[in-house]
Amino acid sequence: MTHTLVSGLEPPYYTAVFTSVRPDDPEGYGETVQRMHERVQDVPGFLGYESARTPGGIGITVAYFRDLESLTAWRDDAEHEAAKRHGREHWYERYSVHIGRVEQSYHYER
């Protein structure tokens, strides 16, 4: 769970938008998310991520990367691949991933 927004991003950068449907608290999920949270920090070009989930609804995670190379490095990380495979087998009813190149962004703060 993230409480703050990723800030200071200067276009161009890349977003991986992950949207999913899964049960509320599947076994082993929290530990895996924590492990991935730690592991992604070591990926060069990783800029941060945000995550939200409506109870009983859907979940959305957005991860930010400097370039497509850093995003691809994380996508293909062996431990991340294993976690995704486990997630497909045990947790997710469905999910989508959208890889986008960001050319414009805005930030508002009161």
Binding site for a copy of itself (CB under 8 A): 1-7, 9, 14-15, 17, 19-21, 50-60, 62, 88, 92-110
At residue 78, the 3 state secondary structure works out as helix
Reading the block at residue 77, the tokens are: 């990380």
Pick 42 or 47: Cβ nearer a copy of itself: 47
Let me know: does 21 contact 94? Beta carbons within 8 Å. Answer: yes
Using CA atoms, how far residue 56 sits from 42, 53, 94, 96, in Å, is 32, 9, 14, 18
- In whole angstroms, how close is the CB of 44 to a copy of itself at the nearest point? 21
- In whole angstroms, how close is the CB of 73 to a copy of itself at the nearest point? 15
- In whole angstroms, how close is the CB of 52 to a copy of itself at the nearest point? 4
- In whole angstroms, how close is the CB of 39 to a copy of itself at the nearest point? 20
Let me know: does 6 contact 47? Beta carbons within 8 Å. Answer: yes
Pick 4 or 41: Cβ nearer a copy of itself: 4
